[in-house]
Chains A and B, each alone.
Chain A
Amino acid sequence: MNDINLFLAKLTYTSAKLTILPEIILILGLVAVVVIDLLSKGKNTFLLYKISMVTLLASAVILLWQWGFFTAYERSHARDFGNIFRFFLLICSLLSISSSVDYILCSKMSLAEFLLFKLAAGLGGMVLSCANDLVTIYVSLEFLALSSCFLSGYTKRDMRSNEATMKFLLMSGASSSLLLYGFSLLYGLSGGQLQLDKIVDGIIFNRYGSIIYLSAAFTTAGTAFKLSLFPFHQWTPDVYEGSPTPVVAFFSVTSKVAALALFTRLFGLIFPYFSNEWHVAVGLLATFSMILGNLIAVTQRSVKRMLAFSSISQIGYIMIGVLSADSGNGYASMITYTFIYILMNLGTFACITLFGLRTGTDNIRDYAGLYMKDPVLTFSLVLCLLSLGGMPPLSGFFGKLYLFWHGWKAGLYSLVLVALVTSVISIYYYLKIIKLMFTGKSGRSDTPLNSRQNSLVSLSISISKNSLEIAMIICALASTLSGIFIDPIIEITRNTFF
């Protein structure tokens, strides 16, 4: 009996010590999905869905348990940061998988590969957000980018999807090469060190001034491609428009969150010595993405394209949080807003997926009079859009308030002013859709609605359809209510500074 207890204690300790246990569980889930798909020859789709959900949940639970286990003994801020982002990525994967199963089954594509790519992308993001090594960072980034690329071309008979994949592949290749140039300069300057903290020790900042600037510029350009900051944003709208909607939902949050973690770590750890210069540069990029993202979004006719530009501007807001980090609060405002952004964005995309499934269109014009047909969908979409715009009672407002207040305290006056003005512009185009849904007359979208619904009924997959609606409602509720519980979130995220 004593032996068993000892063994259990030892097992607990080793599994808590093994920090990549959540990732290992995800890999096991991946293998299980592939093997079961091969054994059942693509018939048992619901089991695959359940396996991937259970894997993600188990991974999240173990991550939280390890986190609690370690904070009881020692507190490491870098690990806190990584853990928060890993948890965010797991949430993204969970919500987006549950909201996309319905779409995949309706369009009669195979589910196994879809789940495979989503789990793989989530895995890449998780490794990326806690990587401490240039090679690991690069490999996991490519892992994430390639999986997202395959996902964006998942509807392979659709020409636009093919175009989106091609663009995404070329752009991510170009950005990775830029990033690699930056990394190679860092590697050379630090005398052949790969680990981030050793690089910082190895670099002599006064001696190689100009080359470090070059390296920082390359790294900024490479990560800005992934984040779709202003001059590197051109791929975003096309890829968003062409890819299938649930996939867009997935990589509008996952790759952004992972790239954000990478950006913050790289710049927080390696380049703190000339923080003035890169603060100015990143501030400029953020300003331009806020202005252009919001202004171009006003003129868009397709909802997906509009959300692409709105995500460009949201990244601009988040950058304020990155720039205003101080040792007291750390990246609290950035992480809090990222969390709220994940929920709002996934909620909006879940609503659009549902609408697209029923009508087969994503024009803004076709949203006219949606309130008469489906009040629940309309209501959740309204909540998510208003939250994205930052209307007071919803959580987007509190997130933005905290972010801007933080930025103002850090002395980023011009950035915060621009952000305030552009938020007002953004409310205009979000409200435009809401107005259409309530007041517009629905004339022409009747026929496709019926045909799609018939196919839905004939397929009789009510279970997964529920999952899409559940995910939508969870996102809408969370993006409404997390404003009330913002204090504990801030309290958790406060201690994250390297």
Chain B
Amino acid sequence: MFLSHQYDSFWIFLLVCISIPLLAFSITRFAAPPREGPEKSTSYESGIEPKGDTWIRFQIRYYMFALVFTVFDVETVFLYPWATSFEELGLFAFVEVIVFIFILIVGLVYAWRKGALEWC
């Protein structure tokens, strides 16, 4: 299946793709002077001095907020295509979207009442 000639350009593209990261890693080994130090092996954190271990625990609330954010996010993603062709889809799609939003709002109210939106 992959042996026909129309795939030739694909194979060349694949070779180039694979070789670029390999080249990038090997060139630095030849070109850069090897100078090991304690400063060099620390992790880079946007210019801020890194403190403590990298394996720290994050607050669970970040994830809670991310989850609640997904409710809105998914809602928007699904509403866009509907909104652009609102005229053609008509009343039925409108009712469908209302059902969809209703279920998401129930989820949001649930998260809110259970205290997922409070920081402490």
Contacts and interface: CB of A to CB of B under 8 A. Distances in A.
Q: Are A and B associated in one complex?
A: yes
Interface of A: 27, 31, 34-35, 38, 208, 211
Contact of A38 (B1, B103, B109): B109
Contacts of B113: 38
Contacts of A208: 1
Contacts of A34: 106, 110
A308 to B, nearest CB: 31
A35 B103 CA distance: 11
Interface of B, secondary structure class, is helix
B1 to A, nearest CB: 8
Given A27-B103, A31-B106, A35-B106, 8 more contacts: A31-B103, A34-B106, A34-B110, A38-B109, A38-B110, A38-B113, A208-B1, A211-B1
A35 B108 CA distance: 11
Nearest to A27: B103
Interface in B11-41: none
A141 to B, nearest CB: 19
- For the side of the interface on B, what is the size category? under 10
A35 B105 CA distance: 11
Contacts of A31: 103, 106
Contacts, number: 11
Interface string B76-120: 000000000000000000000000000100100110010000000
Interface of B: 1, 103, 106, 109-110, 113
A146 B46 CA distance: 37
A211 B1 CA distance: 10
A34 B109 CA distance: 10
A34 B104 CA distance: 12
B105 to A, nearest CB: 10
Contacts of A35: 106
A84 to B, nearest CB: 28
Nearest to B103: A31
A60 B113 CA distance: 32
Contacts of A27: 103
Contacts of B106: 31, 34-35
Contacts of A211: 1
Interface centre among B103, B106, B110, B113 (most CB of A within 10 A): B110
Nearest to B110: A34
A120 to B, nearest CB: 12
A211 B2 CA distance: 12
A78 to B, nearest CB: 26
A63 B98 CA distance: 26
10 closest residue pairs by CB, A with B = A38-B113, A34-B110, A31-B106, A34-B106, A38-B110, A38-B109, A35-B106, A31-B103, A211-B1, A27-B103
Nearest to A38: B113
A211 B109 CA distance: 48
Contacts of B103: 27, 31
A97 to B, nearest CB: 20
11 contacts: A27-B103, A31-B103, A31-B106, A34-B106, A34-B110, A35-B106, A38-B109, A38-B110, A38-B113, A208-B1, A211-B1
B33 to A, nearest CB: 44
A95 B110 CA distance: 27
Contacts of A38: 109-110, 113
A27 B103 CA distance: 9
Interface centre among A34, A208, A211 (most CB of B within 10 A): A34
Contacts of B110: 34, 38
B17 to A, nearest CB: 21
A165 to B, nearest CB: 15
Contacts of B1: 208, 211
A315 B19 CA distance: 49
A31 B110 CA distance: 10
A269 B106 CA distance: 38
A81 B27 CA distance: 63
A27 B113 CA distance: 20
A484 B103 CA distance: 45
Nearest to B99: A27
Nearest to A31: B106
Nearest to A211: B1
Nearest to A37: B110
Nearest to A207: B1
Nearest to B109: A38
A142 B108 CA distance: 21
A319 B25 CA distance: 52
A45 B65 CA distance: 28
A31 B104 CA distance: 11
A208 B113 CA distance: 55
B68 to A, nearest CB: 15
A38 B109 CA distance: 9
A320 to B, nearest CB: 36
Nearest to B112: A38
A34 B106 CA distance: 8
Nearest to A116: B110
Interface centre among A27, A35, A38, A211 (most CB of B within 10 A): A38
A346 to B, nearest CB: 30
A34 B102 CA distance: 13
A216 B113 CA distance: 46
A48 to B, nearest CB: 14
A27 B104 CA distance: 13
A35 B107 CA distance: 10
Nearest to A210: B1
Interface centre among A27, A31, A208 (most CB of B within 10 A): A31
Nearest to B102: A31
A345 B113 CA distance: 38
B107 to A, nearest CB: 8
A35 B113 CA distance: 10
